[in-house]
């Protein structure tokens, strides 16, 4: 198995999606690319929201 890592600067995060139960956390970057954060638990969502730019990253249902 090969894993590819991508570095995403928090200032480039434009949206953090509120995941449905059982779904992974997803974020959108300023260039429109959507990233899934596999293996990141829902307990980490508050920290992700705190790190992302507060005026541009809002949880969405």
> What pTM did the predictor assign?
0.69
Higher-confidence residue of 59 and 48: namely 48
The predicted structure's pLDDT at residue 61: 44
User: Residue 7 pLDDT > 60, yes or no?
Assistant: yes
List all residues 6 or more positions away from 27 whose beta carbon is below 8 Å from its beta carbon: 8, 13, 15, 16, 17, 34, 35, 37, 48, 52, 57
SS3 26: strand
Span 51-58, average pLDDT? 60
Q: What is the pLDDT of residues 25-46, one digit of tens each?
A: 999 999 999 999 888 888 888 8
């Amino acid at each position: 198995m090969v894993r590819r890592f991508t570095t995403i600067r928090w200032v480039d995060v434009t949206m953090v999606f509120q995941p449905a139960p059982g779904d992974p956390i997803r974020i959108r970057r300023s260039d429109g690319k959507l990233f899934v954060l596999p293996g990141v638990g829902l307990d980490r969502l508050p920290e992700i929201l705190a790190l992302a730019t507060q005026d541009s990253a809002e949880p969405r249902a």
